Structure 1
Amino acid sequence: MKRFFLIAASGLLIAGCGTATGSAGSPTVTIEGPADGANVGSAFALEFGSSEEIGPPGSGKNHVHVSTDGHADDYTVVDASPFQVTGLPPGRHTVSVTLQHADHSSAGASDEITVNVTGSGGSTSPAPEQDYGGGY
């Protein structure tokens, strides 16, 4: 299995869409960029927001687990947004975030997007205006 790597980066949050989970009064985490369905380069900034303060697990604060393509057990611990996703091969990929407590237990919130890695570089483009249908 090819593992992807995430590298910390800085930048501004941008609006996007996703399918965040969490009920009223419970914690939330939302992917804010890139937009669901966006074409991205082999390196792209993944930006997220949370209703909870996040930080390193050792600080006692919540953090985020990032995984791809349904491999929830193969995650990267992330304690700041934005950060750089690298190492995904060309093609369609699902990128998921889950909010975790400092002890890595679930805080009950998640979000995911699908991106299309179009090749090398770090650019993104808006989501295509078509339905891809079928499997990813």
Structure 2
Amino acid sequence: MRRYFLIAASCLLVASCSAATGSSDSSTDSPTLTISAPANGANVGSSFALEFSSSEEIGATDSGKDHVHVFTDGHSDDYTVVTASPFQVTGLPAGQHKVGVTLQHADHSSAGASAEITVNVTGSGGSSSPSPQQDQGYGGGY
């Protein structure tokens, strides 16, 4: 009986030491990325502000910070690098479109967070010039 008590006490000690040192399940530390505007299913013009937020600080790729890739209609390989919110989406033709965002590390590898909304563009036209928030030289834009 004494041996069983010592084994149980040792297990409890190891568990409490792990908790005290800050060990945690990595799934609770996963980054988040959400789109706050426009609302999913919203009617928008050919140019609209995409507002998002991340649990991670974002910035220019040369800063070493994470950044966001913005893309449309599932074309995740044809993205625009975005380093601040809001971002002006421009040049989408009339009709329904999916707008996706993914959180990326400075080297463009996935940071594991993404979000997507569907919008209905009710107008046409608009400018396809880059917004001041995007980091030039990466991706193809849309």
Q: Normalising by the residue count of structure 2, what TM-score does the alignment of the two structures yield?
A: 0.68
Q: Does 1:56 align with 2:27?
A: no
Per the TM alignment, residue 24 of structure 1 is displaced from its structure 2 partner at its CA by: 2.7
Match of 1:98 in 2: 102
Q: Deviations over 1:79-130 (max 9, x none)?
A: 00001100000000000000000000000000000000000589xxxxxxxx
> Is 1:107 matched up with 2:111?
yes
Structure 1 or 2: more strand by fraction: 1
TM-score computed with the length of structure 1 as normaliser: 0.71
User: Equivalent pairs: percent with the same residue?
Assistant: 80
Deviation at 1:25, TM superposition (A): 1.5
Moved over 6 A (4+): none
| Distance in structure 2 (CA, Å) of the matches to 1:47 and 1:75 | 16
Question: Hey, what does 2:72 align to over in structure 1?
Answer: 68
Q: CA–CA distance in 1 between the matches of 2:125 and 2:76?
A: 26
Tell me if structure 2 keeps the 8 A contact 1:41–1:121.
no
| 2:31 is aligned with 1:27 | yes
1:80 maps to a residue whose letter is A
Higher helix share: 2
Cα RMSD (Å)? 1.4
**Structure 2 CA distance for aligned equivalents of residues 37 and 96 of structure 1:** 13
Structure 1 unaligned spans of 5+: 1-22, 123-136
Distance 2:125 2:40 in 1: 19
- The 2-side partners of 1:31 and 1:121 are apart by 24
Within 1, Cα distance between the matches of 2:39 and 2:77? 24
The alpha carbon displacement at 1:77 in A equals: 0.2
Residue type at the aligned position of 1:52: E
Q: Whose relative contact order is higher, 1 or 2, with alpha carbons under 8 Å and at least 6 apart?
A: 1
Bigger-Rg structure (1/2): 2
